[in-house]
């Protein structure tokens, strides 16, 4: 039922958005259905697969476990904005070179989750990388190539020679 509707104002990828949404609408449904930002994906809708990963006020969150109504005043970033801003260009290049994606459905979430780890500036171990992305389900790659790609970016950002 849609008798409960909320007015929200937030920024999405730097643009101010003012909308009226169903109170029950998840953030990812709001992004996809209302703003037509289809780069965030819906995989499980119960917080396990990570395909809906976005950033809210700088933190990586599950777009299916947060309601749009909770985002009033928030700063939301999706893959479209993070990609266009150039922040993860090196990570995207590494994913391409290493074929660290196949169908690509998990990839936007995987990139944002990886960037969260990489932003620390450390060079994490492969185990640490695997742990970091263990909330992001990929059925295609078997993860090895993803770990390779993230590891190579961590080393490059830390100034290691490839």
Residue selected from 12, 21, 60, 83 as contacting another protein according to rule CB under 8 A: 83
Residue selected from 69, 95, 117, 151 as contacting another protein according to rule CB under 8 A: 95
Q: Could you say whether residue 111 binds another protein (CB under 8 A)? A: yes
Helix axes 107-118, 89-98, angle to 10 degrees: 120
Q: Please check whether residue 9 is in contact with residue 17, taking contact to mean a CB–CB distance below 8 angstroms.
A: yes
Residue selected from 4, 144, 155, 158 as contacting another protein according to rule CB under 8 A: 144
Binding region for another protein (CB under 8 A) out of 66-74, 88-96, 116-124, 151-159: 88-96
Residue selected from 10, 30, 35, 41 as contacting another protein according to rule CB under 8 A: 41
Which residue from 106, 116, 51 is spatially nearest to 82, judged by alpha carbons?
116
Which helix (H) or strand (E) is 159 found in, with range?
A: none
List the beta bridge partners of residue 76. Answer: 12, 56
């Amino acid at each position: 039922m849609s008798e409960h509707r909320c007015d929200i104002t937030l920024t999405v990828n730097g643009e101010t958005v003012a909308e009226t949404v169903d109170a029950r609408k998840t953030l990812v449904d709001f992004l996809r259905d209302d703003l037509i930002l289809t780069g965030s994906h819906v995989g499980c809708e119960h917080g396990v697969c990570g395909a809906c990963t976005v950033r809210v006020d700088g933190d990586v969150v599950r777009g299916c476990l947060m309601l749009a109504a909770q985002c009033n005043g928030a700063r939301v970033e999706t893959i479209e904005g993070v990609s266009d801003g150039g922040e993860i260009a090196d990570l995207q290049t590494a994913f391409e070179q290493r074929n660290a994606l196949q169908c690509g459905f998990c990839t936007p979430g995987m990139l944002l989750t990886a960037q969260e780890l990489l932003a620390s500036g450390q060079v994490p171990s492969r185990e640490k990388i695997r742990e970091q992305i263990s909330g992001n389900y990929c059925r295609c790659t078997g993860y090895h190539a993803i770990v390779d790609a993230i590891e190579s970016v961590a080393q490059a950002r830390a100034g290691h020679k490839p």
